[in-house]
Amino acid sequence: MSESGGEQYFTEQPSSDDRRRVISVRLAGRDVEVETGSGVFSPEHVDQGTQVLMNECADLPETGTFLDVGCGWGPLALAMAMASPQATVWAVDVNERSRTLTADNARRLGLTNITVAAPDDVPPGTLFDVIWSNPPIRVGKVALHEILDTWLGRLAPGGEAWLVVAKHLGAPSLLNWLREQWGHARPVERVAQSRGFHVITVGPSR
């Protein structure tokens, strides 16, 4: 999804005016108000892919280190932090405005267990027990594969990643690539299909 004027949500520093709005959404079984803005992914609502992912994901552990890759204004990170208040949740995005909105929304909801960061600012030794991502498919296949390789390589041995991808944007081919790239080390499965989206898991080390 691109913003007005053709600007992409994965732009590091959006040039559009920062037009903010407050919207009502349902996260982790709660109705809450959050702030969104121009120049970020899905500013008007929780997009369908993210909804599918949250509906299909297995119950989160009570504790651990979690990651939202491509956090946007923060729906996945906020939901994880609300569901598992004793966990540490990292929210990562290249888009500076997305990071600001996620941090602001964490404060708005009183969530103290979210750390918002640019990708290069996550300490190299950090491993993740859970990764949730509605990845930025529109960055292109090469860049997408690089993003996924980077973060899947930082799954803890017992960790699991959950990804949601639209079928018409290449979910079947991405599943095949993930199996080729990671299937020798971790089980890779399509675990759900809903509303035109596929949910793919990369499971604990074999």
Is 140 a member of any domain? yes
DSSP state of 44: T
Domains in the chain, number: 1
* pTM (global) more than 0.75: yes
Is 57 a member of any domain? yes
Is 32 a member of any domain? no
- At 3 the pLDDT is 36
pLDDT at 4 over 70: no
pLDDT in tens, 20-51: 999 999 999 999 999 999 989 999 999 999 99
Is 20 a member of any domain? no
Residue written as tokens 């949500």? 9
Residue 75 domain boundaries: 45-202
Is 179 a member of any domain? yes
Contact present, 9 and 37 (Cβ < 8 Å): no
pLDDT in tens, 138-159: 899 999 999 999 999 999 999 9
**DSSP-H helix ranges across 25-112:** 48-56, 75-83, 96-108
Is 6 a member of any domain? no
pLDDT in tens, 74-121: 999 999 999 999 999 999 999 999 999 999 999 999 999 999 999 999
pLDDT at 16 over 70: no
Find the largest Cα–Cα distance for the chain. 48
Q: What CATH number should be reported for the domain holding residue 103?
A: 3.40.50.150
